């Protein structure tokens, strides 16, 4: 039996180690005082080579006693086990529920020996269940703690963005490993370390935070009056003065494992459970720095830390932006590839002749017995979907919460507004309308992928056209927003049901129309840039030669740097004689 338990544990470590390499996401957190209009916002990019971009939907409702739900591993879709359903669940649109509670995540992995092979609630289930069962961010945090305590945590280290219309929190958790003991009375083995160690911190109003696949929480206040409580005092979490919640044994457990041996006040969650190294800095913290650098003019002093040249210091957990942020600022940040810095992905040797700021996986590679790496930036080809959730406390929940949702590569997606009051998902964005293994020609995910793959061929030619269309469509949604919400409010005063129907029609019609528009746009790009040529066009119409044929196309060829590289490598081999 001991050998069997050990085998299960080792297999679990192998699986979690593999899954860490698949997960690479970037999340931003914006408080009310840091946003342009007083809304709270979080963003998330589900970066994965197997993730299909679709609008998750949970209708919510009342459930009879005895109802069970099956939990699945987010990375493999393997069933992990069953737990009782709550007697009542709330509607969830993507990762935004009907009470304007929203969540995002990034996996940081951390110490592999802390993976619990007996747990059945993984990070994905925690997000879905917390949103289905919580009316505010604090309740979501409490739900996560209670679920992992009762059923065990089935993932590696995880950072969560958790927000409602008033507060924004970052929460970091990791399991406690597998240590099986035998219960003679029950005649079965159980894991005595079931549960998590964690820290949750409320981001101060007026500040923003971010996380990108590495633990960001270092030191935090310990039992600072009512402002900082442990899980033993979890019933106090709804006291508005509470700003930090942490596991009662978060320090003691680290000591018992040899992860920490200093004074309590010196304890750092990240240093103990997910120590910093070059990869964590360069592949993860650099993305946090890129976002911070966009909104704060003093971030240059942290450049060496973000690049992995200084592993003795850390980026701040949160900063104050130079200006109040709009939703569009988060869209732009999602499309960052370190442009304007010395690590601009469109300008290094791997960009090729057409300035492509993408690198095909694997992230690291070997040559002549040395290992090299490609930069890991925010925008990436393998994004399944991304979102910016916007929560506003001065509006009814049905109107105040907007889930700005895009599928595939954020660099070429269009973010579409889905109000949390909608009563159905848009057909072409809905769950199970196509899959990662089933092509459906008018499914949003596949339509946006088709255009994205075309831009990867001729990035510097095609991307400017994509950006023009993105900005036109997204700006149209911003322009429509005031009128749509005024109309919805008028309907809501007399009949909330009609307001929901109105928002549903607007969101779903706009979303499906965008797919149709993008499909036609992809057709236009195919014709214009066929075979590497460029056809002449004006205002979206191709110019003919007067006889029904196109005007003679242009041949842009290759840039000077490419020509110089070829000549330097081949000498006179291709010289015209």
Q: What is the pLDDT of residues 443-467, one digit of tens each?
A: 999 999 999 999 999 999 999 999 9
* Tally: H helices and E strands in the chain: 14, 26
pLDDT in tens, 159-195: 999 999 999 999 999 999 999 999 888 888 989 999 9
Quick one: 528 and 565 in the same domain? no
Res. 225 pLDDT band, cuts 50 70 90? confident
Average pLDDT over residues 385-409: 98
Average pLDDT over residues 313-323: 98
| pLDDT of amino acid 19 | 37
Residue 85 has pLDDT above 50, yes or no: yes
Q: Of the residues 296, 319, 336, which one is the last residue of a structural domain?
A: 336
How far is Cα 331 from Cα 337, in angstroms, rounded to an integer? 13
pLDDT in tens, 94-150: 999 999 999 999 999 999 999 999 999 999 999 999 999 999 999 999 999 999 999
Quick one: 544 and 518 in the same domain? no
Res. 50 pLDDT band, cuts 50 70 90? very high
Quick one: 275 and 424 in the same domain? no
Least confident of 9-18, 305-314, 424-433: 9-18
Quick one: 418 and 328 in the same domain? no
Average pLDDT over residues 498-516: 98
Q: Which two tokens stand for residue 541?
A: 């119409």
How far is Cα 57 from Cα 95, in angstroms, rounded to an integer? 9
DSSP per residue over 247-268, as a string? -TTHHHHHHHTTS--S-GGG--
Quick one: 201 and 184 in the same domain? yes
If residue 103 lies in a helix (H) or strand (E), which one and from where to where? strand 102-109
Q: Which two tokens stand for residue 44?
A: 């998330």
Average pLDDT over residues 200-217: 98
SS3 42: strand
Q: Please say whether the beta carbons of 290 and 336 come within 8 A.
A: yes
How far is Cα 232 from Cα 245, in angstroms, rounded to an integer? 10
Q: Which two tokens stand for residue 300?
A: 């240059």
Q: Is residue 388 part of a domain?
A: no
Quick one: 482 and 555 in the same domain? no
Q: Is residue 363 part of a domain?
A: no
Bridge partner residues of 107 (DSSP)? 158
SS3 341: coil
Res. 153 pLDDT band, cuts 50 70 90? very high
Average pLDDT over residues 60-79: 96
Quick one: 432 and 516 in the same domain? yes
Residue 499 has pLDDT above 80, yes or no: yes
Q: Is residue 369 part of a domain?
A: no
Q: How many of the other CB atoms lie within 10 Å of CB of 461?
A: 17
Q: Is residue 354 part of a domain?
A: no
How far is Cα 91 from Cα 397, in angstroms, rounded to an integer? 12
Q: Is residue 387 part of a domain?
A: no
The DSSP letter of residue 111 is: -
Average pLDDT over residues 22-45: 92
Residue 356 has pLDDT above 80, yes or no: yes
Range of the domain at 488: 395-401+410-532
Q: How many of the other CB atoms lie within 10 Å of CB of 239?
A: 13
Strands (E), 502-560: 537-538, 541-542
Report the alpha-carbon angle 561-376-41, nearest 5. 120
Res. 197 pLDDT band, cuts 50 70 90? very high
Residue 14 has pLDDT above 70, yes or no: no
Quick one: 256 and 120 in the same domain? yes
How far is Cα 95 from Cα 128, in angstroms, rounded to an integer? 8
Quick one: 130 and 117 in the same domain? yes
Q: Is residue 525 part of a domain?
A: yes
Residue 13 has pLDDT above 70, yes or no: no
Quick one: 258 and 119 in the same domain? yes
SS3 462: helix
SS3 159: strand
How far is Cα 406 from Cα 252, in angstroms, rounded to an integer? 43
Q: What is the CA radius of gyration of the chain?
A: 25
Residue 489, judged by CB atoms within 10 A of its CB (0-12, 13-18, 19+), counts as: middle
| pLDDT of amino acid 118 | 95
Quick one: 511 and 549 in the same domain? no
Torsions phi, psi for 32 (to 5 deg): -55, -45
Res. 572 pLDDT band, cuts 50 70 90? very high
| pLDDT of amino acid 187 | 85
Number of domains in the chain: 3
Q: Is residue 270 part of a domain?
A: yes
Quick one: 195 and 304 in the same domain? yes
- Average pLDDT of every residue of the chain: 94
Q: Quick one: CA dihedral 109, 145, 125, 201, positive or negative?
A: negative
Q: Is residue 350 part of a domain?
A: no
Residue 55 has pLDDT above 50, yes or no: yes
CA distances (Å), origin 201, targets 104, 387, 526: 15, 22, 49
How far is Cα 268 from Cα 259, in angstroms, rounded to an integer? 10
């Amino acid at each position: 039996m001991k050998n069997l338990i050990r085998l299960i544990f080792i297999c679990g470590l192998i699986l979690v180690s593999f899954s860490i390499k698949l997960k690479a996401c970037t999340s931003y957190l914006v408080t009310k005082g840091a946003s342009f209009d007083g809304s709270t916002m979080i963003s998330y990019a589900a970066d994965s080579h197997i993730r299909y971009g679709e609008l998750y939907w949970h209708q919510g409702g009342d459930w009879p006693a005895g109802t069970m739900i099956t939990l699945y591993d987010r990375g493999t879709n393997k069933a992990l086990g069953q737990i009782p359903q709550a007697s009542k669940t709330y509607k969830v649109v993507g990762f935004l529920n009907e009470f304007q509670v929203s969540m995002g995540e990034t996996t940081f992995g951390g110490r592999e020996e802390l993976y619990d092979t007996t747990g059945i609630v993984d990070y994905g289930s925690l997000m879905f269940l917390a949103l289905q069962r919580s009316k505010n961010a604090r309740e979501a945090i409490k739900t996560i703690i209670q679920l992992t305590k009762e059923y065990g945590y089935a993932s590696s280290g995880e950072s969560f963005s958790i927000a409602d219309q008033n507060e924004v929190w970052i929460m970091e958790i990791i399991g406690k490993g597998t240590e099986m003991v035998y219960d003679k009375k029950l005649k079965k083995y159980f894991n005595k370390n079931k549960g998590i160690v964690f820290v949750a911190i409320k981001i101060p109003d007026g500040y923003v935070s971010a996380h990108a696949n590495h633990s960001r929480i270092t030191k935090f206040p310990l039992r600072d009056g009512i402002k900082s409580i442990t899980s033993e005092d979890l019933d106090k979490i709804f006291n508005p003065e509470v700003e930090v919640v942490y596991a009662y044994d978060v320090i003691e457990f680290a000591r018992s494992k040899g992860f920490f041996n200093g004074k309590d006040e010196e304890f750092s969650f990240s240093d103990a459970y997910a120590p910093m190294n070059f990869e964590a800095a360069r592949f993860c913290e650099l993305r946090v720095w890129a976002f911070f650098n966009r909104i704060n003019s003093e971030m240059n002093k942290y450049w060496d830390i973000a690049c992995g040249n200084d592993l003795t210091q850390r980026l701040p957990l949160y900063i104050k932006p130079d200006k109040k942020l709009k939703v569009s600022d988060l869209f732009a940040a999602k499309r960052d590839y370190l442009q304007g810095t010395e690590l601009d992905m469109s300008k290094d040797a791997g960009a090729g002749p057409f300035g492509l700021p993408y690198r095909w996986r694997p992230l690291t590679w070997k040559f002549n017995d040395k290992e090299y790496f490609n930069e890991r930036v925010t925008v990436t080809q393998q994004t399944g979907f991304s979102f910016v959730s916007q929560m506003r406390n001065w509006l009814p929940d049905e109107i105040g919460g907007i889930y700005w949702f895009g599928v595939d590569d954020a660099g070429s997606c269009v973010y579409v507004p889905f109000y949390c009051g909608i009563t159905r998902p848009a057909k072409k964005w809905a769950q199970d309308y196509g899959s990662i293994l089933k092509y459906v020609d008018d499914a949003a995910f596949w339509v946006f992928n088709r255009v994205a793959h075309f831009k990867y061929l001729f990035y510097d030619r095609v991307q400017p056209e994509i950006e023009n269309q993105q900005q036109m469509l997204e700006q149209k949604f911003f322009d429509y927003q005031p009128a749509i919400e005024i109309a919805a409010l008028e309907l809501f005063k007399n009949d909330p049901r009609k307001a929901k129907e109105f928002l549903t029609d607007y969101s779903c019609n706009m979303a499906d129309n965008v797919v149709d528009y993008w499909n036609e746009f992809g057709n236009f790009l195919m014709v214009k840039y066929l075979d590497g040529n460029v056809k002449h066009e004006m205002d979206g119409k191709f110019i003919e030669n007067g006889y029904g044929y196109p005007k003679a196309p242009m041949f842009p060829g290759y840039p000077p740097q490419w020509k110089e590289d070829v000549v330097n490598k081949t000498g006179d081999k291709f010289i015209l004689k």
